[in-house]
Amino acid sequence: MPATLITVAPTGAEHAKADVPNLPVTLEELVSTARDCERVGASMIHVHIRGADAKPTLDQQRLRDTVAALREQTSLIVQLSSGGAVTDPEADRLAVLDALPDSASCTMGTVNFGDDVFMNRWEFIVELHKRMQERGIVPEYEIFDLGQLATLHRLLDQHGLPAGGHVHVDLVMGVPGGMPGDAETLVAALRLLPEGASFSATGIGRTSLPVMFAALAAGGHLRVGMEDTISYARGERVKDNAQLVARAAGLARIGQRPPMTPDEARELLGVNVTPRTAASAPARSTGG
Ligand code: KMH
Ligand code: ZN
């Protein structure tokens, strides 16, 4: 059984700082969380950034500064979210790639997202995939519902393998409007994975633990973090992201699948071991 890649998703775009005061929103808070999470077993970080007002932003300079700071102060694989917030325009979401992260998320279809809609048109997905191929950015294919795995097959058939040559999927389960976060659904998803693909899984809110146990049992990897859950147990708020990573790492060890180092995770995902600097990124594109 392989070791376990643990991704931390520390912030997301949904929680308000006013409601969740321990949510990392400044660059300083993000780097500090990242360092703590690396220490207890994370090897990749899935990043949504916030502006000075603590609201989600895709500001290009902030993205570049964030990539540079995380590279400088951690060994984590830096994955930027191309999903952003449900209100972000496609052009801004495409321009995220100009910050040249190691990896970026790439969602395989439109899904109801609570009271909102998380929009991912086919042409937009193809554009994200092609730009990541051109720039050597390794995608993580985010799957919110089973039909999105059919879209992934269509994408790979029509447009080829991603940068790095390896397909890695993240099952985001338990979103209101997406697939349920339970063992049966996780097993159903596995039958639809492209051959040779690796997968991680995360369960939103109270589905966090069942999804984590099911993913570990099925040989998968884990994503945890305050983007996905702010509750540690019934009636108990999460203290910080490291608490969630430490729990995932502990369960992985119990399952005889200890956390991977960032270098082992790079090897698995096909992420370039020589990180590029954000300073070498091309001038900001309009994303069109
Ligand atoms: N914030 C959600 C609308 C991703 O990061 O790629 C989308 C999301 C997925 O979180
Ligand atoms: Zn995200």
User: For residue range 24-70, what is the model confidence (pLDDT) as tens digits?
Assistant: 999 999 999 999 999 999 999 999 999 999 999 999 999 999 999 99
List the CATH number of the domain containing 268.
Answer: 3.20.20.70
Three-state SS annotation for the chain:
CCCECEEECCCCCCCCCCCCCCCCCCHHHHHHHHHHHHHCCCCEEEECCECCCCCECCCHHHHHHHHHHHHHHCCCEEEECCCCCCCCCHHHHHHHHHHCCCEEEEECCCEEECCEEECCCHHHHHHHHHHHHHHCCEEEEEECCCHHHHHHHHHHHHHCCCCCCCCEEEEEECCECECCCCHHHHHHHHCCCCCCCEEEEEECHHHHHHHHHHHHHCCCEEEECCCCCCEEECCEECCCHHHHHHHHHHHHHHCCCCECCHHHHHHHHCCCCCCCCHHHCCCCCCCC
Q: Does residue 66 sit within a domain?
A: yes
Q: What residues sit around ligand 2, an ion, with C-beta below 5 angstroms? A: 81
Cα 249 to averaged position of ligand 1 atoms, centre (Å): 24
Residue among 47, 107, 113, 169 to mutate when testing ligand 1 (max atoms within 8 A of CB) = 107
Q: Does residue 277 sit within a domain?
A: no
Q: Does residue 287 sit within a domain?
A: no
Report the predicted TM-score, pTM, of the whole model to 2 decimal places.
0.95
Give, for all 288 residues of the chain, the pLDDT tens digit: 789 999 999 999 999 999 999 999 999 999 999 999 999 999 999 999 999 999 999 999 999 999 999 999 999 999 999 999 999 999 999 999 999 999 999 999 999 999 999 999 999 999 999 999 999 999 999 999 999 999 999 999 999 999 999 999 999 999 999 999 999 999 999 999 999 999 999 999 999 999 999 999 999 999 999 999 999 999 999 999 999 999 999 999 999 999 999 999 999 999 985 544 444 443 333 333
Count of structural domains within the chain: 1
Closest ligand 1 atom to 13 CA: 1
Q: Does residue 159 sit within a domain?
A: yes
User: For residue range 118-133, what is the model confidence (pLDDT) as tens digits?
Assistant: 999 999 999 999 999 9
Q: Does residue 93 sit within a domain?
A: yes
Contact 119, 113 (CB under 8 A): no
Q: Does residue 249 sit within a domain?
A: yes
Residues with CB under 6 A from ligand 1: 12-13, 81-83, 85-86, 105, 107, 113, 118, 142
Q: Does residue 116 sit within a domain?
A: yes
> Which range marks the domain in which residue 13 is found?
6-272
